[in-house]
Amino acid sequence: MASPIRKETAFDRLHCQLIRFTALFLRIAEAGFALVAIIVLTYILLGEASGPFVISVIANIVLLIGAITPEALVGIAIVLGLVYMIKSGNLRN
């Protein structure tokens, strides 16, 4: 006996669009992290001669790192641990 063919609903179309949007967002975030990594590498290789843009990016990274408190680091670690456990299937019944 053949299984019934399920018709695509508006929810299915929305779900597909959300999956595509999430994939696009993750690709943009990965490209941004890669760009920052290249800028940091440029600063490491050239130092102060790397130019004002690279130096300003490094200064902003240093300010961001200085603004993160130990409590925020613990919170980030907990969230990342929960995400890892959920993705690996350790929290599923």
In a domain, 2, yes or no: no
Using only C-alpha atoms, the chain has a radius of gyration, in whole angstroms, of: 21
In a domain, 3, yes or no: no
Indicate the number of domains in the chain. Answer: 1
Classify residue 89 by its DSSP letter.
Answer: T
Condensed to tens digits (0 to 9), the pLDDT of residues 8-55 reads 888 889 999 999 999 999 999 999 999 999 999 999 999 999 999 999
In a domain, 23, yes or no: yes
In a domain, 1, yes or no: no
CA 90, CA 82: separation in Å to the nearest integer?
A: 10
Q: Which domain holds residue 79?
A: 10-88
Read off the pTM.
0.64
In a domain, 5, yes or no: no
CA 43, CA 23: separation in Å to the nearest integer?
A: 30
